[in-house]
Structure 1
């Protein structure tokens, strides 16, 4: 295969069946990697694998069904991956969505916060043992420039005081950056690099789950004037499998390269507090205490 890289890696990609995730999946499949593709709908996963096998010739493609806003399904996913594979070389936390109104999950967590942040936190923590088995582990968190729309408010993590769809999405993506920087420091002496990125202002159907004229208008605008989805996908791929993510850790990338995120995202006090709250939420809703570092 012409695009095959010298070293094949085992990579888990969430949000693989739609939008930019689908483009990332095709690019990684063309490079010859073993892919663990995660999505909510089984039929979409089967359709994706058939398409990628035909396009790339890669048969090391495996689909896992999970709703990543539900902690119990995340736990089942992590257990399945650990049973099937002894090692992960990269985890791309690509799945995300915005909700114009406050929606509760079956576990009574606010869905925007659960999907865009808390689920990422839980999945990553559960998969760390597999990533530690790699000599070159990578964690890639897909954040957003929308993180700058919000200030950290621990009294409104789940829209308890006031809900605004875009600001709630921004708060979740800000939380993801705080976690990225905190985790990179926790793993600084290990062979795991942790970075985040903004894929660009792109139109991939994002927000169209809402029957809302604003999000439909935004999607139309970005389709006409926004960034290329391929550029964002290339950034994810390079951080997960290329030289770009091999040495750098604890950074925020855009198409321009390493970029500063909002000042709020660098608060070490907020990073520590968010980790404590996240661990408490996981224990409360999933009934599982996460393993602490020595």
Structure 2
């Protein structure tokens, strides 16, 4: 009798559990939609920021474009690495996600001013010099300095949502895959929108302002979702399994394989971009 009472206290009635599951499923669907928009804004920024830095400061050479791309990707990796432990320890990871999105939006509004500062520093050292290794290193350092903060925040958004998936879903792997697919789909849409619609119709500055506003909207919705009591429902077994996963030998091999895969993917992007220039022009 006592054990039955404990069991009753631990598990709500079947109808309540079904209702909670439906609420969490709908909520995760909304979070996935936010991550679609987040991926779109991230790639709009990459296109716009690359265009600003290459056309206004560094020139549109393949080396300059590669430098901006490398700095952007380095920030993504740094954010995922540094802020993932912070996300793991948060009771409401959607709040962290909201703060990150708001920070990205705020940085976007300041970016044109930062480009002017970068241009001033670059001209200070580059005027009267022939292209050499020093100027290449200077380009990378300046691009890294202005892209590090926003790209680091972007890189931290996925760990925050993975932690949310671990807290709100019994199928962590599937839910993480849904979030990642949503973000990638948004990234494709953002690239096309920036290149073929937004910059031509609105201009660079207005595109940045509009995209920053979208980030603030995402942040507001995510913050509200993060305050929902449903977010406090934790599956202890799922969280324990998630936390117990450690850097085993197989995990290290997998991470090495991912690193090689990422290297090849970005090398292909630079090569394909250079090849397509001959057919599409240097737009």
- Structures share fold, TM-score greater than 0.5: no
Structure with higher Rg: it is: 2
Identify the structure with the greater strand proportion: 1
Greater helix share, structure number = 2
Give TM-score, length-normalised by structure 1: 0.28
Q: Flag the structure with more relative contact order, 1 or 2, with Cα contacts below 8 A and sequence separation at least 6.
A: 2
